[in-house]
Each structure stands twice: as structure tokens, then as C-alpha cells.
Amino acid sequence: MNITVAGVKKEVRDGITVAQLIIDEKVETPEYVTVTVNDEFLENTQFEETVLSEGDNIEFLYFMGGGQ
């Protein structure tokens, strides 16, 4: 099936979960990543159970603190 990951169209196997996509995409520091699927934020606890569908748009986000 075809999905979009960080703006890049990719072909992945049917039934892939967000957790497996994080592994396959070699996401750095996965314990700190925030994931959106079709612009909806997922809780970390949902990664294992969220199965992706044809045409989904996935983004990996990192929130940084800082400033003065």
C-alpha cells in the first residue's frame, strides 16, 4: 500500500503499525518522537495498535524546549 511519510510517498506492507514504521524508518530517539497520522496526534501507547491505511499521511515530530 502507499502512504506518505514526512512528505515522501512510500510503499509499505499492508497491516503495518506505527510502531513498526518507526523501526523501518530508523527514527532517531523514538522514545521522544511525536507522531501524527492524517494531522491527528497519537499517544505513544497507540503506536503498537494503530494500523496504517492506504493514503495515510504520517509525520514524525520532535518538540524542543529552550529560549530565554
Q: What is the pLDDT of residue 63?
A: 77
Q: Is residue 13 domain-resident?
A: yes
Give me the CATH number covering residue 32. 3.10.20.30
Please check whether residue 12 is in contact with residue 55, taking contact to mean a CB–CB distance below 8 angstroms.
Answer: no
Q: Is residue 27 domain-resident?
A: yes
Q: Is residue 43 domain-resident?
A: yes
Please check whether residue 11 is in contact with residue 40, taking contact to mean a CB–CB distance below 8 angstroms.
Answer: no
Is 0.75 topped by the overall pTM? Answer: yes
Span 12-42, pLDDT tens digits: 999 999 999 999 999 988 999 999 999 999 9
Q: Is residue 48 domain-resident?
A: yes
Q: Is residue 57 domain-resident?
A: yes
As for how many domains the chain has, the answer is: 1
Domain that holds residue 10: 2-61
